[in-house]
Amino acid sequence: MNTTTLEPKEPMTRRQIILILILCLLLLGGIAGQMLRDRWSGPPLEELIHHGQLPAYRININAADVAELSLLPGIGPGRAARIIAYRQEHGPFKAVEDLARVPGITRKIASQLTHYATIE
């Protein structure tokens, strides 16, 4: 009768355990980040326009505070603060598309905001 014995493997080293923990944390962080992006980003603007679900009012980017600006899609508290700082330094915006001049706001974001923002 042929019997094989299972030899115990060497225990994992401390370094291997730490590496596995770091990889697990990175994986969980990535999953959590994706969930937050999905939750806060909302439906794409094109989908809202297609279904006629535009906002009932527009936010005046020349008068809004951080809280109001943060309601705009793609604009969080950090970008809102930069909008206000830019506005204070350069004066009122002449067009919503001028938001692209604010550091951290791309032309794409600025052009999408024309449905949600106004300069009046």
Q: Is residue 80 part of a domain?
A: yes
Whether 18 and 72 share a structural domain: no
Whether 72 and 87 share a structural domain: yes
pLDDT one-digit tens code per residue, 10-42: 888 889 899 999 998 888 888 877 766 655 555
pLDDT of residue 41: 52
pLDDT one-digit tens code per residue, 59-115: 999 999 999 898 888 888 999 999 999 999 999 999 999 999 999 999 998 988 988
pLDDT of residue 55: 59
What is the arithmetic mean of pLDDT over 7-12? 76
| Containing structural domain, residue 19 | 12-41
Domains in the chain, number: 2
Sorted by sequence, the CB contacts under 8 Å of residue 112 that are 6+ apart come out as: 45, 73, 74
Q: d(Cα 95, Cα 11) in Å, to the nearest integer?
A: 65
Q: Is residue 2 part of a domain?
A: no
Q: What is the largest CA-CA distance in the chain?
A: 91
